Amino acid sequence: MDNDEFVLLLNNCKNSIERFIYYKMPNKYDAEDILQEVLITGYKSFNRLKSKEKFKSWMLSIAANKCNDYYRKKLKVLEIPVDNIYYYEKSYSRAGISVKDAVDDTLENLRDQDKKILTMHYIKGMDQKSIASILNIPVGTVKSRLYTARQNFKEIYPYPPDMKGECIMKNSKFPQIMPEITITKSNLEEFEVKCEQDIGWFIIPRLGEESSFATYDFDDYPTMKKTSETNVKVVGEATIHGVECVEIEEQEIGIDGNTYGFTMFERLTDTHLQTVAAIYNSNGVKKVSTFLDDDFLSFWGFGENNCGEELLQKRKGTIECNEKGELSKEHIDTHNSDIVGRYIVKIGNKEYDTIRQIYFNSHNELVENYINTEGKVVLFRRFNRFDWRYKKGYDQLWTDIFPYSDRIILNGDIYVHWYNCLPIYVI
């Protein structure tokens, strides 16, 4: 081992490693212990690092693992793994909305009896008779405990029902049941089109722009029912680390009237759309992520060095599609996208000539976007790899959760259709 090389590389990034650990740890004493473990692990494993240019990110990944190990020991009595807690902080991303951390945070703050019975009934989907059998208590006691647990949950849940939001959901232009959708492959060649929208949010990052869309989940297959509406609006200009951009506010209204939101900062160049920063809440704490943060690209950025999403949507040939419709890509990047085919999409009584954009990332999430000749997304369809977050929040494989929904095969793996988003202009 080249000790001098390790020390030299470490000196160039030690401050970042220390800062990362001290921010993560609850006190400086534990932080010092974790720092020592990180340095020892890095030193012993240095010979296995093939690319010395990645030394900083490699050491930070060791630090992240050590911090997770620390909290895993602290939280080992909880039913929700610490891995999920980190992921929930990133519940909004380029692949759409995944989960809401507030529910899990509230569960963690309940007494064990309440948390256990709510988890069994609402998360694991167990009926009252099954719960009674496992806990060896009468069904009447299960009903009583569920009632008490629900009341205790409501008292500490940070987002009480917003009746205004509930009213908006009931009286909006979006129907409760998703219109019938058919997708038919066209024999015509794919067209090229300039798309200035942030494809995942149906918004153009330009002053004066606003949009809205509804999310539809499976109710009783194949019926899909509205579960939320999202309003997106450009609210002003901003400058992030010297980069001029616009501020975009997003507010989601759930079926129960609860509201959630976050803020993005984006800009258009002549050729690309770039996400510059994002502000979101986690555990009641406002968090800011910018393009200078090491993990920004994984969740918010796009392209090499966060160059952004190309405005001109055309086939690049990076994602292949065979005669069976199976997709493949030789080199998997953090974010991957390409145009794969031309399709006629019919939504209710409206018909659109579209190109199909496939986007997938290193988190095993895949999205189909259908872009019309005007450069607007008319349909967003979210898919998960069959084992996405299995045993990390979900007790079943997605092929079991949705046995009848559409499938996409990518590099031999099955991706399962989860939900759809429809913009207001197709309703």
Task: Identify the pLDDT of residue 67.
Answer: 82
pLDDT band, very low/low/confident/very high, at 166 (cuts 50, 70, 90): low
Which has more confidence, 48 or 403? 403
> At 348, is the secondary structure helix, strand, or coil?
coil
pLDDT band, very low/low/confident/very high, at 158 (cuts 50, 70, 90): low
Say if residues 265 and 277 touch (Cβ distance below 8 Å): yes
pLDDT band, very low/low/confident/very high, at 87 (cuts 50, 70, 90): very low
Residues of the chain with CATH 1.10.1740.10: 3-74
Average pLDDT, the chain: 85
Which of the residue ranges 197-206, 287-296, 373-382, 410-419 would you say has the lowest mean pLDDT? 287-296
Tokens of 323: 């005669």
Architecture of domain 109-156: Orthogonal Bundle (1.10)
Which of the residue ranges 75-79, 94-98, 161-165, 281-285 would you say has the lowest mean pLDDT? 75-79
Task: Identify the pLDDT of residue 185.
Answer: 97
Tell me the average pLDDT across 337-361. Answer: 96
3-state helix, strand, coil split of the chain in percent (to 5) is 35, 35, 35
Tell me the average pLDDT across 366-383. Answer: 97
DSSP H/E element including 351? strand 350-361
Beta strands in 165-254 (DSSP E): 181-185, 193-194, 210-218, 224-240, 243-254
Residues of the chain with CATH 1.10.10.10: 109-156
Tell me the pTM. 0.64
Task: Identify the pLDDT of residue 332.
Answer: 83
Task: Identify the pLDDT of residue 194.
Answer: 98
Q: Please, what is the end-to-end C-alpha distance for the chain in angstroms?
A: 64
pLDDT band, very low/low/confident/very high, at 29 (cuts 50, 70, 90): confident
pLDDT, one tens digit per residue, over 224-243 is 999 999 999 999 999 998 88
* CATH entry 1.10.260.40 includes domain 3-74: no
Residue tagged 């794969």 (tokens): 340
> Which has the closest alpha carbon to 100: 260, 289, 218?
260
Residue 53 reports pLDDT greater than 80: yes
Long-range contacts of 315-324 (CB under 8 A, 24+ apart): 315/190, 315/339, 315/340, 319/358, 324/409
Task: Identify the pLDDT of residue 295.
Answer: 80
pLDDT, one tens digit per residue, over 293-303 is 888 877 787 87
Residue 162 reports pLDDT greater than 80: no
- The distance from CA 313 to its chain's CA centroid, rounded to whole angstroms, is 23
CB burial readout 162-186, b (16+ within 10 A) else e? beebbeebeebebeeebbebebeee
Task: Identify the pLDDT of residue 4.
Answer: 82
pLDDT, one tens digit per residue, over 317-342 is 999 999 999 999 988 888 889 999 99
Say if residues 424 and 210 touch (Cβ distance below 8 Å): no
pLDDT, one tens digit per residue, over 88-144 is 333 455 556 554 455 666 777 888 899 888 888 776 667 888 899 999 999 889 988
